[in-house]
Copies of this chain bind each other. A is one copy, B any other.
């Protein structure tokens, strides 16, 4: 029934010291109820004394459960290789914390959008499930998701909840947030409100925000004007370009709702360079509340998403899906943060 304790203690060592068999040790430590309280206490004491830790590999191999989740960042290739979207990074903290709380490890990896879906597949073999945080062209993204579904991989992704999507999705109430932003701009007297951000189904989240804006406009009896919308991806450069294009157009506008803070910041630069006064000439609202939003001048009114809730919900939904519990799509409320860029 045993050998004496060795270098790295195993369940056998504990069994030997406790005078029981190895399986009993396993049962005791995993909380099986078919082990007496006295035996369990004894085993737990010895384990603590020896600094014993269950060997994760052996355990996973046997049980076929890794107790590990993989976090996969999907991104469009950027010129600056090492840049990561600050918005998703802010979710990292809460996801990690939530995983730790549930006793799960978190594996992390970054992928360029154009890469083989194989990577995700690979990750699915090292973990019980995958959390997907992606941005970029949604249509490119789709085929990868289909592969995952096909293979029965457990995964959740952050994205647009309102549009029907593939797989389990958690996201902010983008439509509602867009509506709040629009209502606020109307409230401060603006009527010619431009939207910067791709409004097609290549970017469902942006599309939702635009939908919300339009809804707010109609509620104020304003007819949304397609001539005041410009496509932009989430980068400062893209926002700058979009705003310039807007300025070049013949349509006048007195406010901008940008689909992300980076776009808004780029737009602000373009507007300033054109000699416009913010927010007097043009009020502007961003989205995400990245740290930089509080540092621009004027400081940027924006929509704050519930990142902490997001991490919790993502992990929660994924674990439910892994355990075969029923899960529903869930939407998180977003909140408007009023700053100088809309203070008139």
Contact = CB atoms under 8 A, between A and B. Distances in A.
Interface string A64-82: 0010100100000000011
Nearest to A89: B89
A195 B124 CA distance: 50
Contacts of A295: 265, 292, 295-296
Interface in A303-343: 307-308, 311
Contacts of A90: 82, 84
Interface stretch (A52-60, A153-161, A239-247): A52-60
B93 A110 contact: yes
Contacts of A297: 297
Contact of A97 (B60, B82, B92, B100): B82
A291 B107 contact: no
Mostly, the A contact residues are helix
A126 B56 CA distance: 7
A167 interface: no
A295 B264 CA distance: 12
A122 B53 contact: yes
A296 to B, nearest CB: 6
B105 A126 contact: yes
A154 to B, nearest CB: 15
Q: Assign chain A's interface to a size class.
A: 35 or more
A344 interface: no
Contact of A109 (B57, B84, B96, B296): B96
A96 B108 contact: yes
A307 B82 contact: yes
A106 interface: yes
A288 B152 CA distance: 44
B108 A108 contact: yes
A61 interface: yes
Contact of A60 (B57, B93, B94, B121): B57
Contacts of A81: 93, 97, 308
A83 interface: yes
Given A55-B61, A61-B61, A96-B108, 12 more contacts: A53-B125, A57-B66, A82-B90, A82-B93, A82-B311, A83-B93, A86-B89, A86-B291, A89-B89, A97-B110, A100-B109, A106-B107
Nearest 4 A/B pairs, CB to CB: A57-B61, A82-B93, A57-B60, A57-B57
Interface of A: 51, 53, 55-58, 60-61, 66, 68, 71, 81-84, 86, 89-90, 92-94, 96-97, 100, 105-110, 121-122, 125-126, 265, 291-292, 295-297, 307-308, 311
24 contacts: A53-B125, A55-B61, A56-B125, A57-B58, A58-B61, A61-B61, A68-B107, A71-B108, A84-B92, A86-B86, A86-B291, A89-B89, A92-B108, A93-B110, A96-B108, A100-B109, A100-B110, A105-B107, A105-B126, A106-B107, A107-B107, A107-B108, A291-B292, A295-B295
